[in-house]
Chain A
Amino acid sequence: MLLILGRRALSAIPILFVVSLLLFVALRVLPVDPAAMSMPPSATLAEIDAMRSQMGLDRPLLEQYGIWLGQAAHGDFGQSLHLRRPVLRLVADTLPATIELAVAAMLVASVLGVGGGLLLFTLRGRRSELVVETGTTVLMSVPEFLWALLFIFVFGVLLHALPFTGRLDASLPRPDKTGFLLLDAILVGRADVLWSALAHLVLPAVALGLAFAPPIMRVLRSSLLDVYHDDYIRQARLRGLSEGRILWRHALKNAALPMLTLMGVQFGFLFGGSLLIEVIYSYPGLGNLMVDAVRNADLPIIQIVGLTYCVLVLAINTLVDALYVVLNPKLRGR
């Protein structure tokens, strides 16, 4: 397992390298001058020029990238132009919130996806199948940010049932240990903090999860249909096993593999979707940091947040690939 994981991780490194180069070049050809932006408005042109050469902006692009890479290797990703703090710190502060949201949303998506997929499968060949299937197509047409807005309206504005801004009630103290709020609340043993954090997490997580559930439903259904054509299912039927036992003990194991691959891809996309959810729910995560940075043309932040998203996606892909090999006996021993 570890060996596979290591091998997959190694193959992700060149991709990360190319991505960082592309990001660097793309952000440097922008018509924005980071030197001028990092100076007070009263700075003279000469001062800005001095700053530019101090920041290395007058050198060739590849050399600049080399310098950046060298600094990055030492853990120095630069300062935010706008917030004037090290960008690595900013990412470290916001990343746990985003991971918490994405994992919660993925749980929602998995539960709904597997449940819906099984429902679709059990309805196969019946008239109601068409209705439910069209339902999934319609469900797929609601992107996560529309769910988010609808939930705010229904549960926040109409019913006043759930909070819809931030991660925690303003009156509660924020336990500061790992940055993962749910974990922190348990660590310090505050039930009220945990409760408040959960209440704040419900709407964003469900909105995000709902948008990613329909593809899981469909893939599970179609791979179950495929699996039921296999001889071993017929064999199980001939042995007199009950339909329920065949589904749960025999078919689902094999049908889960394509679903797992899809969920890996989905989890990556879900991080992208979390960006919008964070903006809508004023959730202090990576997405809000990114959007603010884009609005302020804060290049160092955009650069590192872009990279962080890449690392997350590649890490998930690596994990899912390795898991796939572990779970699929056909691929073992290769």
Chain B
Amino acid sequence: MKAFRSGRVIVGAVIVVTVLLCALLAPHLAPHDPDDQNLLAQLLPPAWQAGGDAAYPLGTDGLGRCVLSRLLWGARVAMEVALIASLGAALIGSVLAYVAGYFGGWADWIIGRAVDVWMSFPPVVLSLILMTGLGTGERNVILAIVLVDWTRFCRVLRSEVLVVARRDYVAAARLVGFGHWRTVTREVVPATIPLLVTLLSLEMGIAVVVEAVLSFVGLGVRADQVAWGQMIADGREAIYQAPWTLFAPVLAIFVTVAGFNLLGDGLRRTLDVRMVEGRE
């Protein structure tokens, strides 16, 4: 595969796989229970700093909870949300894009207007409103992201499908007697897969951020689950005494999102046949 010769794809994939492994193996990797409070060891600095304790490699937060363990468990929520939400958004957005782009006419008009309505909301505002309606919880965070971000897929894919669906080979397939279903799934969809994969990777990064934002505001996952956004909100309170409790989740979000973005960017460059001379 050509894609795996690109530096970005490799770096991005390594980061994403590492975070995924952390998420999957969190119960085994975490030195402590993420909710275990050790009130005798509050706000311990990381182990390499003076006063640090080797039992808490990244120190403890204001309630004496192990920062590293919380980070690992937070990765679980982040990755679950990222994967499921972006797949859901991709599914809805791309199905609508294929319908709109392939059939055109009134279907295209209705879907286009729906996208317009959605796009007139800043995404953060829309997801906040949805979370008010749905209530907190991981499942609702996923639902909110799907309901907000399907337009990202729909907009971009639709214009691609418009171009592909009018190519001669698609018309040929119709002439040979392929039905609409077979034409779309066998002829149109494969041509748009590279774009879809790229969008999916970028969307996963966005989903990580949105989940963190919602948890930060207190409208994300339930309070008994560990989320990076929540850790940031906690760490912000202790910014003077224990900046590491803020930095750890900030860094985790940054690295994860950078991984997804590098992967998506690299894929776009290697999979898109039209990329000549670094044109975007």
- Tell me the A residues contacting B by CB distance below 8 Å: 15-16, 18-19, 22-23, 26-27, 29-30, 124, 129, 134, 137-138, 140-143, 145-146, 149-150, 152-153, 157, 218-219, 221-222, 225-226, 268-273, 275-276, 279-280, 290-291, 294-295, 297, 302, 305-306, 309-310, 313-314, 317
B236 proximity list for chain A (CB < 8 A):
149, 280
Does residue B262 face the partner (Cβ distance < 8 Å to A)?
yes
Contact B258 A138 (CB under 8 A): yes
Contact B213 A153 (CB under 8 A): no
Taking a contact as CB atoms closer than 8 A, the residue among B124, B243, B258, B278 that contacts A153 in the complex is: B243
Contact B257 A141 (CB under 8 A): yes
Does residue B280 face the partner (Cβ distance < 8 Å to A)?
yes
- Tell me the B residues contacting A by CB distance below 8 Å: 8, 113, 116-117, 119-125, 128-133, 205, 209, 212-213, 216-219, 232, 236, 239-240, 243, 246-247, 250, 253-254, 257-258, 260-262, 265, 277-280
Query: What are 11 A-B pairs at a CB distance below 8 A?
Result: A15-B120, A26-B129, A145-B213, A222-B279, A226-B279, A268-B120, A268-B122, A269-B122, A294-B132, A302-B129, A306-B129
Known: A30-B133, A225-B277. A269 touches B239 (CB 8 A): no
B280 proximity list for chain A (CB < 8 A):
218-219, 221-222
Q: Complex formed: what's the CA distance from A269 to B209 in Å?
A: 14
B133 proximity list for chain A (CB < 8 A):
26-27, 29-30
A314 proximity list for chain B (CB < 8 A):
120
Taking a contact as CB atoms closer than 8 A, the residue among A137, A222, A268, A302 that contacts B261 in the complex is: A137
A280 proximity list for chain B (CB < 8 A):
236
Contact B250 A150 (CB under 8 A): yes
Q: Distance in Å from the Cβ of A130 to the closest Cβ of chain B?
A: 8
Contact A225 B278 (CB under 8 A): yes
Beyond contacts A29-B133, A134-B262, A145-B212: 14 other A-B pairs, Cβ-Cβ < 8 A, are A15-B116, A19-B121, A124-B278, A137-B265, A142-B257, A146-B250, A149-B232, A273-B122, A275-B124, A280-B236, A305-B125, A309-B121, A309-B122, A310-B120
Contact B250 A157 (CB under 8 A): no
Q: Complex formed: what's the CA distance from A302 to B121 in Å?
A: 13
Residue of B nearest to A228 (CB): B277
Known: A27-B133, A290-B128, A313-B121. A149 touches B250 (CB 8 A): yes
Contact A313 B257 (CB under 8 A): no
Contact B261 A271 (CB under 8 A): no
A291 proximity list for chain B (CB < 8 A):
128, 217
Contact B205 A141 (CB under 8 A): yes
Q: Distance in Å from the Cβ of A51 to the closest Cβ of chain B?
A: 22
Q: Complex formed: what's the CA distance from A313 to B124 in Å?
A: 13
**Main SS class of interface, B:** helix
Q: Distance in Å from the Cβ of B248 to the closest Cβ of chain A?
A: 12
Q: Complex formed: what's the CA distance from A305 to B236 in Å?
A: 27
Q: Which of B119, B125, B216 has the most CB of A within 10 A?
A: B125
Contact A157 B262 (CB under 8 A): no
Taking a contact as CB atoms closer than 8 A, the residue among A137, A153, A279, A309 that contacts B8 in the complex is: A137
A18 proximity list for chain B (CB < 8 A):
113, 117
Q: Distance in Å from the Cβ of A332 to the closest Cβ of chain B?
A: 25
Q: Complex formed: what's the CA distance from A281 to B47 in Å?
A: 31
B132 proximity list for chain A (CB < 8 A):
27, 30, 294, 297, 302
Q: Which of B129, B217, B257 has the most CB of A within 10 A?
A: B129
Contact B124 A276 (CB under 8 A): yes
Known: A27-B133, A225-B279. A141 touches B128 (CB 8 A): no
Q: Complex formed: what's the CA distance from A15 to B115 in Å?
A: 10
Q: Complex formed: what's the CA distance from A273 to B206 in Å?
A: 13
A222 proximity list for chain B (CB < 8 A):
278-280
Contact B258 A19 (CB under 8 A): no
B232 proximity list for chain A (CB < 8 A):
149
Contact A143 B120 (CB under 8 A): no
A310 proximity list for chain B (CB < 8 A):
120-121
Q: Complex formed: what's the CA distance from A22 to B120 in Å?
A: 12
Residue of A nearest to B217 (CB): A291
Contact A141 B258 (CB under 8 A): yes
A219 proximity list for chain B (CB < 8 A):
280
Q: Which of A26, A124, A141, A218 has the most CB of B within 10 A?
A: A141
Q: Complex formed: what's the CA distance from A290 to B123 in Å?
A: 14
A26 proximity list for chain B (CB < 8 A):
129-130, 133
Contact A313 B122 (CB under 8 A): yes
Q: Complex formed: what's the CA distance from A271 to B205 in Å?
A: 20
B265 proximity list for chain A (CB < 8 A):
137
Contact B125 A306 (CB under 8 A): yes
B246 proximity list for chain A (CB < 8 A):
149, 153
B260 proximity list for chain A (CB < 8 A):
141
Known: A15-B116, A157-B240, A157-B243. A134 touches B8 (CB 8 A): yes
Q: Distance in Å from the Cβ of A128 to the closest Cβ of chain B?
A: 13
Contact A279 B261 (CB under 8 A): no
Q: Which of A29, A149, A226, A269 has the most CB of B within 10 A?
A: A149
Residue of A nearest to B280 (CB): A222
Q: Distance in Å from the Cβ of B198 to the closest Cβ of chain A?
A: 13
